[in-house]
Amino acid sequence: MRAPLIVIEGLDRTGKTTQTLRLLSHLNNEGIKNHLIKFPERTTPIGELINQYLTNKRLELSDQSAHLLFSANRWEFQSEIVDLLIKNQTVVVLDRYVYSGVAYSSAKGLDFQWCLSPDIGMPKPDAVIFLQSRDSTATAKREGFGKERYEIESFQNKVRAQFEKFEKDSNWHNIYVDGKSIEQVEREIWEVAEQYITGVQDKLDRFQRKQ
Ligand code: Z5A
Ligand code: MG
């Protein structure tokens, strides 16, 4: 038995980082062991290169190379995620994951299936909570938008269309954020996450005692 893997995905500035931190507080309040990883994780050598690519528009990489770097950055954490879920029985919350990788690169014109392939073998999430916005002009006005390479409204619309291809997956949950307060979105995320989490600590404890 493994602990749940929960991913918060979404378009730019829809509140992913704000909400992953709030989800962690809920888990702490419930006494559930948890761990957060944010992708891209910019502190590793590969992550530093990604950071340069995102923040320094003079650093040019082919779209394929950039895509593979984002995937390699996730592979740097593959064994850590597996150990957390299986050995440590810890709920793992991810701020962006494979879905961002595929959506941003395929929005640039790379083949969707090709984009999926380097992440084959990464752990599959139990739930993907996708923060969706019908109105990218509203989220584009939020603090920080426009500082990095992909933060251009017309590109965000292409990214949205690619993300929507995952909507039919059974573990996918859309939450619309337009006009909602941080607290309202937090409540809606918890309603979804709770289904995967309620009673999980008891089950994990019982499972560990049996081992
Ligand atoms: N990328 C990729 O191409 N391939 C990959 O494989 C991966 C990523 C993993 C950087 O990602 C870029 O990398 C990203 C995708 C690409 N493209 N771009 N650009 P990142 O995750 O590091 O990006 P970020 O800098 O953290 O931005 P973000 O994730 O888009 O923002 P956010 O986490 O969704 O939003 P936030 O930081 O929580 O909130 C933004 C502001 O809005 C902040 O002032 C909040 O207080 C405010 N906020 C939040 N919620 C609300 C509500 N409900 N109402 C009003 N204001 C709110
Ligand atoms: Mg963020």
Residues 86-126 have pLDDT tens digits of 999 999 999 999 999 999 999 999 999 999 999 999 999 99
- Show the domain range for 98: 5-210
* Nearest Cα residue to atom 13 of ligand 1: 40
- Rounded average pLDDT per 10-residue block, the chain, 211 residues: 96 96 96 97 97 90 98 98 97 98 98 98 98 81 80 90 96 96 98 87 71 69
Determine the pLDDT at residue 134. Answer: 85
- Name residues contacting ligand 1 (CB within 6 A): 10, 12-18, 39-40, 54, 70, 96, 100-101, 104, 142-144, 148, 150-151, 177, 180-182, 185
- Judging by beta carbons within 10 Å of its beta carbon (0-12, 13-18, 19+), is residue 45 exposed, middle or buried? exposed
Q: How many domains does the chain have?
A: 1
Determine the pLDDT at residue 199. Answer: 64
**Measured distance CA(26)–CA(186) in Å, rounded:** 10
**Measured distance CA(161)–CA(143) in Å, rounded:** 24
**Measured distance CA(135)–CA(26) in Å, rounded:** 28
* Nearest Cα residue to atom 37 of ligand 1: 17
Which bound ligand lies closest to the C-alpha atom of 142?
A: 1
Report the side by side order of strands in the sheet with 5-10: 34-38, 91-95, 5-10, 127-132, 172-176
Ligand 1 atom closest to residue 97's alpha carbon, by position in its atom list: 9
- For residue 94, the domain's CATH number is 3.40.50.300
Ligand 1 atom closest to residue 185's alpha carbon, by position in its atom list: 53
**Which chain residues have CB less than 5 Å from ligand 2, an ion?**
16-17
Residues 177-196 have pLDDT tens digits of 999 999 999 999 999 999 99
- Judging by beta carbons within 10 Å of its beta carbon (0-12, 13-18, 19+), is residue 117 exposed, middle or buried? exposed
Of 9, 17, 159, which is best to mutate to test ligand 1, by the most ligand atoms within 8 angstroms of its C-beta?
17
Q: Judge if pTM exceeds 0.75.
A: yes
Ligand 1 atom closest to residue 101's alpha carbon, by position in its atom list: 6
149 C-alpha to center of ligand 1: Å? 13
96 C-alpha to center of ligand 2: Å? 8
